[in-house]
Amino acid sequence: MNLSLRKLFVLSMIVVLFGVVSVYGITTLVPVKPTTPVPVRSVVTSSPLELTLELSKTEFEQGEPINGTLSLRNIGNESITVTFGQLGGRFYFDVFDANGTHVYTSALVCPAAEEHLPLNPNEQITRTDTWNQIYNIWPTEYYLEQVPKGTYTIIGKSLRYSLYSTDSLHDGIETPPITITIK
């Protein structure tokens, strides 16, 4: 009788040990999705300027506000003055659906006059705009309606600008697109 209790004890220990090893192995082999979203950035450089678009994540629930933060930074070694005209926001983002149709622009803020923005080396100006997943391109039959679930691309853009340090006119710059999903 004593021998069978030992066998039962040993067998129980083997089962427990196997269970512990199995759980440990599964938790280390199966990737765990991060609980907090990882911000995503898209950057373009047109010396002496760098334009960055940052989103907090790439997957959103339908109707969830999407904040896009745009930064324009002087990456040069000299102070510059960036001049934007009266054509819209200094820099903004545009949203396109999976078919390439323009569904939203954050460029609706129009300055009353030319803006002269001095930037020292490594200094930046930043702006955050919110897209509430609503069409705002006119004319369209969907104007001011909720966009459907799906895949969209967001591109950060600057208007044409001039730099007093070189006194030349530059085309606007665009970040590479960030692809997002609305679920």
How far apart, in whole angstroms, are the C-alpha atoms of residue 72 and residue 163? Answer: 13
Looking up tokens 């969907």 gives 142
Domain ranges of the chain: 1-32, 40-182
pLDDT at 164: 67
Backbone phi, then psi, for 117, in 5-degree steps?
-115, 105
Look up the pTM and report it.
0.76
Domain spanning 40-182, CATH architecture: Sandwich (2.60)
Coil vs helix vs strand at 150: strand
Sheet-wide strand order for 168-170: 115-119, 80-84, 161-163, 168-170
pLDDT, one tens digit per residue, over 84-130 is 765 545 788 999 999 999 999 987 555 566 777 889 999 999 999 99
pLDDT at 23: 66
pLDDT at 158: 87
Backbone phi, then psi, for 149, in 5-degree steps?
-60, 150
Going residue by residue through the chain, which has 183 residues, state the pLDDT in tens, using 9 for 90 and above: 556 767 767 777 777 777 666 666 666 666 666 667 889 999 999 989 999 999 999 999 999 999 999 999 999 999 888 887 655 457 889 999 999 999 999 875 555 667 778 899 999 999 999 999 999 988 778 888 999 999 999 999 987 777 765 567 778 899 999 999 999
Amino acid identity of residue 9, one-letter, is F
pLDDT at 52: 97
CB atoms within 10 A of CB 97: 17
pLDDT at 84: 75
